[in-house]
Chain A
Amino acid sequence: MFNFDWLSGVSQETAKMIFLSLYALIGLLVLLLPNEYIYEGIAKEDRHWWNNLKLWSIAVLSILASIYNHF
């Protein structure tokens, strides 16, 4: 049990899909965050697309997913 023998039937390809699904789930949760919360700390007139932290997060997760997809 301590060695996760019960997951020995899961192939490397399936395992990779589990990781990619995890990134997709995190991305979805980030997208669900309210914009007001994302911009908290920035004055309303200074809020632009480039300081939208949702976009930053999605960009990072996309690069991460592409690395795992490639290797």
Chain B
Amino acid sequence: MLSGIDYFIVIAYIVGMLLLGLYFKKFVNSSEDYFLGGKSLPFWAIGMSIVVSDIGALDFVGVSGQAYRYGISVGNFDWVGSVPAMLLAAFIFIPYFWRGGMYTIPEYLGRRYNQKVRTIASVTWIMFFALDLGVLFWASAVLLNVLMGWPIWISIISTAGVVGLYTYFGGITAVIMTDVVQFVIMFIGGFALVFLSLYEVGGWDSMVDKIATMGPEYRNHFDIIQPQDTKSPFPWTGILFGLTFVMANAYMIGNQSIVQRCLTAKNEWHAKASMIFGSALKMFIPILVLFPGLMAVVVHPGLADGDQALPLMIKSILPPGLVGLMFAAFFAGLMSSVDSLLNSTATLFTKDIYEPFIKKGASDKHYLKVGQITTLVLLIIGVATSPISSDFPGIYVAIQTFMSYFQGPIFSILLLGIFWKRTTEWGGLSALVIGIGFAIYLNVFKEQFFTIEDPFLYISWWSFLLGAIINVVVSLLTKKHSEEELQGLVFSSKILVKNKKL
């Protein structure tokens, strides 16, 4: 499917990424440089990086497929499912983390609750990130193989080699600055497909008219708010309670790979601005990933598998050259996801596991080296374990789904931890353990409890709610923390006025 010009564009992109990433090696002289970019990065780079690392090659295909089946309501995930949470993160949580000089979210949980909560949260993230790496490599490589005929092991080795080298040497600065270029490539490739597809279907109004006449199953395709009794996974109740109130906040506030980027900002204004700028860019994502799926309803009606929508649109719409650009956009999605996983996992391991449990009080150069070696080891594990995924076809979806179940309880302890000073270490620990257990229970017996197709939004909400209730009850029954212990860890209106102390 690729022509000569397409190969040239893809190879130029890969080589360019490697050279750009390695350029940032000279800025890494300490562990703070490696994990927090020396706290020197501007808001626009961080904002772009937050957005691009959230979109993988698989999301392009998956979201287009969902838009083909369910319509525009899929856009809720990048609109109401991102913007309010990013504003909350920008104005309340990020300033606390940034002023506290923290490296990881579990580090906050450790200071606010206890070391056990920190370790459980960190180990869970490390396990999932490490497992996700191999699965992501394989699933993305299979996708690129199906779409473009690119050999699976060439995808894996080239991505691992390039991303591994620049992440190992350049740390998070290389990750964020290569993300900026990946963002630009992704937007150019994505918008080219959208504009050419719109031309093909005769414009937006023509597309809406054609879909409206295609039958009752397309009646709600342009309703962003779906009724409570819809069979799709996106009823408005799930979008409001599960997505807006829990999952979006958990992702933007409790996800290490997102928050760590904001902590690299050169000052507090840049940290806040990065999230708000990112929220503005986020609103364009549905145009890139959702619109091609909608337009495929007109161009390729009656597909049994919605995930075929995007590949078919690329094959039928894009000319040579732009196919290569779109392929580079897929690669950009894969690379930005892999570099985020590598750097965040290395940070979690070094700061939350190695430093407190394996070697306390070592030199800064030692921790820098540990971070780099962890990056390398993770990469080798990811590549080595990737073929295992071929024996478990549903493993990618299973991991993503399970990670979403972890988010309700973790957000409940973050939220109460920062807003309610009566919350105790035992309250937080109980909420985390019981909340995760409850989410697993609801998932196992979902057919008995839920009527919609995939109830992950509802499961997030109910596990969050139970986590919050457990936290309140257990906290009231156990000994409260002293004012000194809570200094700088609990929200105070003082943060909103002119003093810098928390």
A interface residues with partner B (beta carbon < 8 Å): 2-5, 7-8, 10, 12, 15-16, 18-19, 22-23, 26, 30, 33-34, 36-42, 51, 53, 56-57, 59-61, 63-64, 67-68, 71
B452 interface residue (CB < 8 Å to A): yes
B27 within 8 A of A: no
Residues of the B chain whose Cβ atoms lie less than 8 Å from the Cβ of A7: 228, 237
CB of B283 within 8 A of CB of A39, answer no
Is residue B269 contacting chain A, with contact meaning CB distance below 8 A?
A: yes
Complex alpha-carbon distance, A41 and B450, angstroms:
48
Whether the pair B276, A60 counts as a contact (CB closer than 8 A) is yes
A37 and B495 within 8 A (CB)? yes
Most buried by B among A2, A5, A34, A63: A2
Instruction: Give residues 335-391 of B contacting A (CB, 8 Å).
Output: none
Task: Evaluate whether A15 and B236 lie within 8 angstroms (CB atoms) in the complex, with A40-B95, A68-B224 already known.
Answer: yes
Sorted from nearest, which 8 A-B pairs have the closest CB atoms? A41-B269, A41-B267, A4-B237, A41-B268, A71-B224, A15-B236, A36-B498, A56-B276
Contact between chains at A37 and B80 (CB < 8 Å): no
Residue numbers in A under 8 Å from B261 (CB-CB): none
Q: Apart from A16-B224, A67-B224, what 16 extra A-B contacts exist at CB < 8 Å? A: A2-B450, A3-B452, A8-B229, A19-B225, A26-B84, A34-B496, A37-B496, A41-B268, A51-B269, A53-B272, A57-B276, A59-B280, A63-B283, A67-B75, A67-B79, A71-B224
Q: Are A64 and B79 in contact (CB under 8 A)?
A: yes
Tell me if A60 and B280 are in contact (CB < 8 A).
yes
> When the two chains form their complex, are residues A53 and B269 in contact, meaning their CB atoms are under 8 A apart?
yes
Report chain A residues within 8 Å CB of B270.
Answer: 41
Taken together as a complex, chains A and B put the C-alpha atoms of A47 and B259 apart, in Å, by 26
Interface size on B, residues (CB 8 A): 50
Query: Which of A57, A68, A71 meets B222, CB within 8 Å?
Result: A71
Contact across chains for B276 and A71 when beta carbons are under 8 A apart:
no
* Complex contact B84–A10 (CB within 8 A): no
Collect the chain A residues with CB atoms within 8 Å of residue B500's CB: 40
Interface residue? B153 (CB, 8 A) = no
Q: Which of A7, A16, A38, A53 has the most CB of B within 10 A?
A: A53
- Which of A12, A22, A60, A71 has the most chain B CB atoms closer than 10 A to its own CB? A60
> Quick check: A40 and B240 within 8 Å, CB to CB?
no
Bound-state CA distance A66–B30 (Å) is 46
Q: A57 contacts which chain B residues (CB < 8 A)?
A: 87, 90, 276
Q: Is the CB of A3 within 8 A of B450?
A: yes
Structural contact, A60 and B83, CB atoms closer than 8 A: yes
Q: In whole angstroms, what is the CA distance A6 to B229 when docked?
A: 11
Q: Is the CB of A2 within 8 A of B83?
A: no
**Chain B, 79-99, contact with A by CB distance < 8 Å: what is the 0/1 string?**
110011001001100010000
Distance A36 CA – B269 CA, assembled complex (angstroms): 11
B370 CB to nearest chain A CB (Å)? 31
Main secondary structure of the interface of B (DSSP, over half): helix
Is there an interface contact between B80 and A68, defined as CB atoms closer than 8 Å? yes
Q: Say yes or no: A3 contacts B458, CB within 8 Å.
A: yes
Q: Is the CB of B497 within 8 A of A56?
A: no
Q: Does the CB pair A12–B283 fall under 8 Å?
A: no
Which residue of chain A lies nearest to B498 when distances are taken between CB atoms in the complex?
Answer: A36
Residues of A within 8 A of B450 (CB): 2-3
Contacts of A53 in B (CB 8 A): 90, 269, 272-273, 276
State the Cβ distance, A64 to closest chain B Cβ, in Å. Answer: 5
Q: A57-B87, A64-B79 are in contact. Are A12 and B225 (CB under 8 A)?
A: yes
In the assembled complex, the CB of B242 is this many whole angstroms from the nearest CB of chain A, namely 10
Q: Across the interface, which residues of A come within 8 angstroms of B271, CB to CB? A: 41
Residues of A contacting B75 in the complex (Cβ-Cβ under 8 angstroms): 67
Chain A residues with CB under 8 Å of B240's CB are 15, 18-19
Cross-interface CB contact of A10 among B228, B267, B449, cutoff 8 Å: B228
A38 to B15, CA, bound (A): 41
B464 at the binding interface (Cβ < 8 Å):
no
Q: Is the CB of A67 within 8 A of B272?
A: no
Q: Please indicate which of the listed interface residues B91, B268, B279 has the most CB atoms of chain A within 10 Å of its own CB.
A: B91
Give min CB distance, A15 to chain B, whole Å: 4
Contacts A18-B240, A26-B87, A53-B272 hold; do A12 and B458 have CB atoms under 8 A apart?
no
B96 to chain A minimum Cβ distance, whole angstroms, is 12
What are 9 of the A-B contact pairs (CB < 8 Å)? A2-B458, A7-B237, A10-B236, A12-B223, A19-B236, A26-B87, A36-B497, A36-B498, A41-B268
Q: Is B203 interfacial (CB 8 A cutoff)?
A: no
Interface: B412 (CB within 8 A): no
Q: Determine the residue in chain B with the shortest Cβ distance to A26.
A: B84
Contacts of A23 in B (CB 8 A): 84
CA distance A41 to B27 in the complex (A): 23
Contact status B283-A60, CB under 8 Å: yes
Closest CB-CB distance, A42 to chain B, in whole Å? 5
| B276 contacts across to A, CB distance below 8 A | 53, 56-57, 60
Q: How far is the CA of A7 from the CA of B240 in the complex (A)?
A: 12
Chain A: CB-nearest residue to B277: A56
The CA-CA distance from A33 to B458 in the complex, in Å, is 32
